[in-house]
Amino acid sequence: MKIEQITFTRFIAAFAIIIFHFGLKIYPFSHPFISPVFYLAKIGVSYFFILSGFIMVVAYNKKEEINALDYYKNRIARIYPVYLFAIVLFIVHNLIFGKYLNINDILLNLATIQAWIPGKALSLNYPGWSLSVEFFFYALFPLLFNFIYKRFNYIIVLIAVIFIWLGSQFFFNILVNSPFYQGYGSKSHDFLYYFPLLHLNQFLLGNLAGYYFIKNPDKQGNYDLLILGLCVLLVLILRFSFGINYHNGLMAIIFVPIILAISYNQGFLTKLFTNKFLIFLGEISFGMYILQVPSYYWSKQLLNLFQINDDSATFYFSVLILILISILSYLIIETPSRNFLKNLSFPQKKS
């Protein structure tokens, strides 16, 4: 099952994160009224984690059992080629322009294990830390699906996941406000903000939301007003955050309802979001997310050749280049490699 109207939301989240990284000082995102929203736009990564868990269950729910090797093959085909392309672009840029490179950082990123090592999570192409977390989710999902979701009552699993979520929030907030936390750039920061186990609660909540969706197909209807209301509430929560830290899954309380409402919706917003152009933007959103740093660096170097150093020009030019590179990588790298690996098969487990 493919829920096409949810695809475009990935583009919105990816673009918000790009603004967080490179556009906070650029108009109109620098306007005092809306800038606080984009200062917290990094929580788009949390949306990705929850949505990933949701999509996994929706995509595989009809299977009695997941063949782990086949599943891993498909997941690697979906994200690793473009992830590798981003690393290559980053390395080539640093080699040409004499920037620092560490062979250990390269190896950790190639193995997608950088987020497991405090102090290394943001090494090299720093948005890649979330892919390190995603691969952990992917490694777990066949086990969760085959041995827990298919064997235990939904309510029991739901209660367990809620306890995990609450425990994660308690653990995170206790430590981030304790002497243990040494601030941004420290190993304690890397552990609390990027360590994969501390983000597992979000993937699990996405899984449970996926099961709720497939078990209640009769809830489809027009949820346009609910979706708009939830989005306004999200903006207000970010605009007036009162110092609350949303990074480690707290925003699930609004992201899960948004995902479910959009997935069930049959109103105008669904007609809008299933426009082929918007779906395509959603399809290239992964490329936009993972290629944003090397694309920005290369764009900046290109503008320097013409002695253009204006921050706004650099940002908007880099976004244009990023979209073009993401389209090309989707058409030339991501889609062909996915189709190639799909033709490889592993023996299915006999019952």
Q: 273-309 pLDDT, tens per residue?
A: 999 999 999 999 999 999 999 999 999 999 999 999 9
Mean of pLDDT values over 29-33: 94
More confident residue, 340 or 35: 35
Predicted confidence (pLDDT) at residue 324 exceeds the cutoff of 80:
yes
Q: What pLDDT shows up at residue 314?
A: 96
pLDDT-derived band at 349 (thresholds 50, 70, 90) equals low
Q: What pLDDT shows up at residue 185?
A: 87
Predicted confidence (pLDDT) at residue 120 exceeds the cutoff of 70:
yes
Q: 156-183 pLDDT, tens per residue?
A: 999 999 999 999 999 999 999 999 999 9
* CA end-to-end span of the chain: 25
- Beta-bridged to residue 164, according to DSSP, are none
Return d(Cα 157, Cα 144) in angstroms, integer: 11
Parse the chain into domains and list their residue ranges. 4-342
Q: Which residue has the tokens 């868990």?
A: 53
Among residues 53, 116, 60, the alpha carbon closest in space to that of 252 is found at: 53
As a three-state string, the secondary structure of the chain is CCCHHHHHHHHHHHHHHHHHHHCCCCCCCCCCCCHHHHHCHHHHHHHHHHHHHHHHHHHHCCCCCCCHHHHHHHHHHHHHHHHHHHHHHHHHHHHHCCCCCCHHHHHHHHCCCHHHCCCCCCCCCHHHHHHHHHHHHHHHHHHHHHHHHCCCCHHHHHHHHHHHHHHHHHHHHHHHCCCCCCCCCCHHHHHHHHCHHHHHHHHHHHHHHHHHHHHCHHHCECCHHHHHHHHHHHHHHHHCCCCCCCCCCCCHHHHHHHHHHHHHECCHHHHHHCCHHHHHHHHCHHHHHHHHHHHHHHHHHHHHHCCCCCHHHHHHHHHHHHHHHHHHHHHHHHHHHHHHHHCCCCCCCCC
Distances (CA, A) of 265 to 22, 218, 227, 258: 33, 11, 9, 10
pLDDT-derived band at 20 (thresholds 50, 70, 90) equals very high
Predicted confidence (pLDDT) at residue 341 exceeds the cutoff of 90:
no
- What Rg value do the Cα atoms of the chain yield, rounded? 20
Q: What pLDDT shows up at residue 242?
A: 81
pLDDT cut 70: percent of the chain above it: 97
Q: 214-266 pLDDT, tens per residue?
A: 999 999 999 999 999 999 999 999 999 888 889 899 999 999 999 999 999 99
Q: What single-letter amino acid sits at 350?
A: K
Predicted confidence (pLDDT) at residue 16 exceeds the cutoff of 80:
yes
Predicted confidence (pLDDT) at residue 346 exceeds the cutoff of 60:
no
Predicted confidence (pLDDT) at residue 344 exceeds the cutoff of 80:
no
Return d(Cα 113, Cα 111) in angstroms, integer: 6
Return d(Cα 302, Cα 307) in angstroms, integer: 9
Mean of pLDDT values over 1-6: 90
- Do residues 112 and 132 touch, judged by C-beta distance below 8 A? yes
Q: What pLDDT shows up at residue 284?
A: 97
Predicted confidence (pLDDT) at residue 131 exceeds the cutoff of 70:
yes
Arithmetic mean of pLDDT over the chain? 94
Predicted confidence (pLDDT) at residue 345 exceeds the cutoff of 90:
no
The pair of three-digit structure tokens given for residue 101, joined into one six-digit string? 């490179």
Q: What pLDDT shows up at residue 244?
A: 85
Give 166's contacts (C-beta < 8 A, 6+ positions apart): none
Cα 227 to its chain centre, rounded Å, is 20
pTM to 2 decimal places = 0.94
Mean of pLDDT values over 323-332: 96
Return d(Cα 117, Cα 195) in angstroms, integer: 8
